[in-house]
Amino acid sequence: MKIRIAHSPDSDDAFMFYPLVKGEIDTEGLEIEHVLADIETLNREALKGTYEVSAISFHAYPYVADKYLVLPSGGSVGEGYGPVVVAKEKYDSLKGKRIAVPGTLTTAFLTLKLYEPDFEEVVVAFDRIIDEVLKGNVDAGLVIHEGQLTYSDHGLVKIVDLGEWWKEMYDLPLPLGCNIVRKDLGEETIRKIERLMRKSVEYSLRERERALSYAIDYARDLEEDWERTDRFVGMYVNRRTVDYGEDGREAVRLLLRLGKEKGIIKTDIPEVIFSDEV
């Protein structure tokens, strides 16, 4: 059976999927094909149910919950850190500011709307956001992926780290991305994919140097910077990626509930979210 796994071409996803890409673990009879696309594209494809397994933003999940469940492994969770709003100068407030965002279905966007509801969003490809800020086309930019570590290299300053703000507000980690599995695959195949996802993450954490040597090719702006690549990967592939934990799952439900209450998420929040809850 052929399973397409769609994920972002960035170092943390490359790290966690390394064992599956390179055939380092037994796929239990499944033929795995990897598809690479930016996270907002994956969010939009999930609305159509395109891929059997896909990385998406948690913000997008309620809109695809009729077709998908969230796998208990493979999540990207910020432990007191997360997407960062940056600018060329320090602002006391983001109210009314023109801000470049990497897509309106990203969790970064949802969290920014919870932090400051009143701003003008400008949707820009995530890897162009820093350039747009530098050119003065926007007042600020919402950076994700490796840009969270490299923005200061460009002379930009941090306005707010949304993961830090979330931790201060709710004393919980900030769930950003997840891997989802299509419901129509059936229970047996879903259980296989749950096992494969967990084994893949555990293998990479165990064989860290080998997985990093593969992932560094996907580390934008970090080039051969092993130290910062390792740091970034460690931020988003760790024990939470093996399993969210009870507080991680609580954080998922809180994030989605707040998004619904504030009118940012315009669909119902499902009662069952994770595949191992079925």
pTM for the model stands at 0.95
Q: Pick the closest to residue 76 from 207, 217, 238 (CA basis).
A: 238
Long-range contacts of 220-228 (CB under 8 A, 24+ apart): 220/10, 220/11, 220/127, 220/145, 220/146, 220/147, 221/146, 221/147, 221/150, 221/153, 222/11, 222/146, 222/149, 222/150, 228/146, 228/149, 228/150
Is there a common fold for 2-78+174-277 and 84-170?
yes
DSSP-assigned letter for residue 104 = T
Rounded CA gap, 231 and 106, in Å? 22
Which of 7, 34, 59, 145 does the annotation list as catalytic? 145
Strand partners, 56: 178
Whether 116 contacts 149, CB under 8 Å: no
261: exposed, middle or buried (C-beta count within 10 Å: 0-12, 13-18, 19+)? exposed
Predicted confidence at residue 223, as pLDDT, reads 62
Predicted confidence at residue 222, as pLDDT, reads 65
CATH code: domain 2-78+174-277 is 3.40.190.10
- Angle between helix 11-21 and 226-236 (nearest 10): 80
The reply, when asked if residue 41 is annotated as ligand binding, is no
Active-site annotation holds for 59: no
Predicted confidence at residue 73, as pLDDT, reads 98
The reply, when asked if residue 150 is annotated as ligand binding, is no
Which CATH superfamily hosts domain 84-170? Periplasmic binding protein-like II (3.40.190.10)
Domain positions in the chain: 2-78+174-277, 84-170
The pLDDT profile of the chain, 278 residues, written as one tens digit per residue, is: 999 999 998 889 999 999 999 999 999 999 999 999 999 999 999 999 999 999 999 999 999 999 999 999 999 999 999 999 999 999 999 999 999 999 999 999 999 999 999 999 999 999 899 999 999 999 999 999 888 989 999 999 999 999 999 999 999 999 999 999 999 999 999 999 999 999 999 999 999 999 999 999 888 766 678 888 899 999 999 999 999 999 999 999 999 999 999 999 999 999 999 999 99
Strand partners, 4: 33
